[in-house]
């Protein structure tokens, strides 16, 4: 070939494509054709979570409820409106769960909206943090999902005084063997297992399902482009099933170790008065008459302890601490006649009641307390003995915001519109747990929603367990006594969910609990979390009801006058949860925070 020919040959043309064109093509490849799949996935998870709790109470659904949402975690590219869809669907489900709040008072509609909106944020937050753990930190889905979910449950149970309702584990209260792990991990351990199984199932879903649901971008035709593949799926499923088997096996072993011994015979008095009547002075006598009548029926069964619900003794207990003149009393509490401070008949009335019944009493009432510095109202449980009279008083230590007090009410006066509490009627918090010792037993009172907050009940049992009794010997807490007024909620699903949530406290602390609840559901719960059929059930309305539960339904009777009498099964087993507290929940919370910061850590390294 000649040199001329080489010179005359045309040079190849190099085409340089605009980078913007590459970006447009890439965006087209990852953009989903429709956002319907995201709404389907979010809606299915939100709806299934709602159905797992009361009023439907379809607990088995909880094992797969999170699967659709976890499919969104596996996507490599974030679909349009993913977090918006999750937030909206979560809000609808949460508002449906909490619909009973609106029944308390018209002022509670705003509180219902505010709490529902706050709680609904946890679902998109769970999605975002789990995606960070899986995509940025390469954490397996079967670890990332349960750690994050439980970590957020822990935060929710503590933040803003805590909201311990509707934990994922609560949906499994009927599976008694499974929930026994709560005496080590708290109810958080049950939530962990349920979410881990959901994550294991979600990891096995093939790419074809993503395409069918239109979750994956249509232009991505291979699984490697669209979703995170489950590495060694057989091993991950084996891990899930091993954890499940160990938890279930532990439950059977612990139940086999139970040696329940007959304890005190307890009579739980249950009136049926909506809360609007409770605040009507004209109804005080009628409320007292009904509870006194049921107490009289209870005497026939010779109980050792009779319990009245929260604030159902409508006259307050008056207490003066320190030297206070009448003039100072008028200044501190101008709405209370001075003579009532010096001549209150309440202690004598309570002592006479105890002597006539021949039993000790735990009575729910309010306490008015005056000190040289201030006047305070307290939600209290009075402990009365037939031999010694009024012996102790427990003041509720964990108050319900906007139900018993208004936080920041001085700084933001408009917050008073969010609560039915009239001016001057806010409650003060008690200082410490109180033990009630009678014969050879020790009772620990808890009031209202305290039985829904795990660390509060744990603190009460931990602080009182092994303290010195009246004769100088150290005593354990034999029984938790919950007094509650659920008359605000008019027989709604709140009553069922409240009882279910309380059952986990009995397992966590390995301490039986009895509940005397205005309008219901009063019950005896043993240390395994079993809601027991009482020895005697008295229908105070004389409508022929002979059992705590409705025949054939498995649901409990509500909104009735009743009397529940039973020997309490004492539990000698100990609890690591009482000893070590929320070590498991706090560990999951630490992992969740680490995952949330994962994006920043990875970017900094890059």
- Local confidence band at 28 (pLDDT 50, 70, 90 cut-offs): very low
More confident residue, 604 or 126: 126
In tens, the pLDDT along 433-449 reads 999 999 999 999 999 99
Task: Summarize the confidence of residues 86-105 as an average pLDDT.
Answer: 93
pLDDT of 26 above 70: no
In terms of average pLDDT, the best of 34-38, 87-91, 105-109, 368-372 is 87-91
Rg (the chain; Cα; Å): 29
Q: Is the CB of residue 289 less than 8 Å from the CB of residue 308?
A: no
Q: Is the CB of residue 182 less than 8 Å from the CB of residue 199?
A: no
Phi-psi category of residue 9: left, alpha or beta, with phi > 0 → left and psi -120 to 50 → alpha: beta
pLDDT of 418 above 70: no
pLDDT number for residue 160: 82
- Among 312, 324, 237, CA closest to 278: 312
Task: Summarize the confidence of residues 470-487 as an average pLDDT.
Answer: 92
Please name the residues in contact with 342: beta carbons below 8 A apart, sequence gap of 6 or more.
Answer: none
pLDDT number for residue 24: 45
CA 576 and chain centroid, separation:
20
Distance (Å, rounded) from C-alpha 440 to C-alpha 364? 23
Distance (Å, rounded) from C-alpha 371 to C-alpha 483? 27
CB atoms within 10 A of CB 181: 25
In tens, the pLDDT along 255-291 reads 999 999 999 999 999 999 987 656 677 788 999 999 9
Task: Summarize the confidence of residues 3-18 as an average pLDDT.
Answer: 50
Task: Summarize the confidence of residues 230-255 as an average pLDDT.
Answer: 94
Q: How many helices (H) and strands (E) does the chain have?
A: 24, 16
In tens, the pLDDT along 113-144 reads 999 999 999 999 999 999 999 999 999 999 99
Distance (Å, rounded) from C-alpha 108 to C-alpha 440? 44
- Range with lowest mean pLDDT among 30-34, 299-303, 381-385, 467-471: 30-34
Q: What torsion do the CA atoms of 36, 38, 40, 42 make, to the nearest 10 degrees? A: -150
User: What phi, psi does 406 have (nearest 5°)?
Assistant: -115, 110
- Range with lowest mean pLDDT among 148-157, 398-407, 580-589: 398-407
- Local confidence band at 422 (pLDDT 50, 70, 90 cut-offs): low
Which sequence spans correspond to the domains of the chain? 26-257+585-605, 261-318+357-369+432-572
User: ω into residue 521 within 30 of 0, thus cis?
Assistant: yes
Please name the residues in contact with 546: beta carbons below 8 A apart, sequence gap of 6 or more.
Answer: 537, 539
Task: Summarize the confidence of residues 545-568 as an average pLDDT.
Answer: 88
- Range with lowest mean pLDDT among 21-30, 201-210, 345-354: 21-30
Full-model pTM: 0.90
Q: pLDDT over 90 for what percent of the chain?
A: 66
Gap between the terminal Cα atoms of the chain: 53
pLDDT of 425 above 80: no
Distance (Å, rounded) from C-alpha 534 to C-alpha 519? 17
For the domain with range 261-318+357-369+432-572, which CATH number is right: 3.40.190.10, 3.40.630.30, 3.60.110.10, 1.10.150.20?
Answer: 3.60.110.10
- Among 82, 12, 1, CA closest to 42: 82
Task: Summarize the confidence of residues 384-400 as an average pLDDT.
Answer: 93
Distance (Å, rounded) from C-alpha 579 to C-alpha 508? 11
Can you say whether the dihedral through the CA atoms of 114, 119, 120, 126 is positive or negative? positive
The structure tokens listed for 348 are 């004598």
């Amino acid at each position: 070939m000649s040199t001329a020919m080489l010179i005359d040959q045309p040079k190849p043309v190099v085409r340089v494509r605009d980078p913007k064109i590459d970006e447009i093509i890439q965006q087209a490849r990852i953009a989903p054709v429709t956002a319907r799949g995201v709404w389907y996935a979010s809606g299915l998870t939100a709806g299934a979570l709602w159905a797992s709790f009361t009023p439907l109470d379809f607990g088995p659904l909880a094992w797969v409820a999170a699967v659709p949402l976890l499919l969104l975690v596996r996507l490599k590219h974030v679909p349009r409106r993913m977090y918006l869809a999750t937030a909206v669907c979560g809000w609808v489900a949460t508002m449906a769960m909490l619909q009973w709040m609106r029944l308390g008072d018209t002022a509670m509609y705003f509180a219902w909206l505010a709490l529902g909106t706050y709680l609904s944020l946890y679902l998109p937050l769970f999605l975002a943090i789990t995606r960070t753990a899986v995509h940025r930190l390469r954490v397996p889905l079967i670890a990332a999902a349960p750690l994050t979910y439980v970590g957020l449950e822990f935060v929710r149970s503590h933040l803003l005084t805590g909201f311990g309702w509707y934990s994922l584990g609560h949906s499994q209260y009927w599976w008694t063997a499974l929930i026994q792990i709560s005496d080590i991990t708290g109810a958080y351990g049950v939530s962990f297992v349920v979410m881990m199984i959901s994550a294991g199932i979600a990891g096995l879903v093939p790419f074809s399902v993503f395409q069918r649901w239109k979750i994956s971008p249509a232009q991505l035709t291979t699984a490697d482009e669209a979703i995170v593949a489950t590495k060694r799926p057989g091993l991950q499923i084996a891990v899930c099933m091993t954890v499940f088997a160990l938890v279930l096996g532990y439950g059977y072993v612990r139940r086999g170790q139970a040696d329940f011994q007959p304890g005190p015979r307890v009579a739980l008095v249950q009136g049926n008065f909506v809360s609007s009547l409770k605040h009507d002075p004209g109804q005080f006598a009628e409320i007292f008459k009904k509870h006194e009548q049921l107490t009289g029926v209870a005497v026939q069964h010779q109980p050792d302890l009779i319990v009245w619900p929260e604030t159902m003794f409508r006259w307050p207990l008056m207490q003066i601490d320190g030297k206070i003149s009448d003039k100072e009393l008028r200044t501190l509490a101008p709405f209370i006649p001075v003579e009532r401070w010096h001549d209150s008949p309440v202690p004598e009335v309570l002592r006479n009641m105890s002597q006539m019944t021949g039993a000790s009493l735990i009575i729910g009432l309010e306490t008015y307390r005056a000190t040289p510095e201030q006047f305070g109202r307290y939600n209290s449980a009075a402990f009365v003995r037939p031999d010694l009279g009024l012996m102790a008083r427990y003041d509720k230590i964990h108050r319900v915001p906007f139900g018993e007090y208004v936080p920041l009410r001085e700084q933001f006066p408009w917050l008073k519109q969010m609560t039915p509490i009239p001016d001057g009627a806010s409650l003060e918090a008690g200082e410490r747990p109180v033990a009630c010792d009678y014969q050879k037993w020790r009772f620990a009172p808890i009031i209202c929603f305290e039985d829904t907050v795990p660390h509060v009940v744990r603190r009460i049992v931990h602080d009182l367990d092994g303290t010195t009794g009246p004769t100088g010997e150290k005593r354990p807490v034999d029984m938790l006594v919950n007094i509650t007024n659920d008359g605000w909620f008019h027989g709604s699903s709140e009553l069922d969910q409240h009882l279910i949530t309380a059952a986990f406290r009995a397992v966590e602390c390995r301490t039986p609990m009895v509940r005397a609840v205005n309008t219901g559901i009063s019950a005896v719960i043993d240390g395994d979390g079993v809601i027991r059929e009482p020895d005697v059930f008295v229908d105070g309305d004389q409508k022929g009801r002979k059992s705590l539960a409705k025949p054939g339904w498995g649901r409990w009777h509500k909104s009735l006058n009743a009397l529940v009498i039973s020997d309490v099964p004492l539990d000698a087993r100990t609890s690591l949860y009482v000893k070590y507290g929320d070590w498991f929940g706090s560990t999951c919370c630490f992992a969740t925070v680490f995952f949330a910061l994962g994006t920043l850590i990875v970017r900094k390294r890059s």
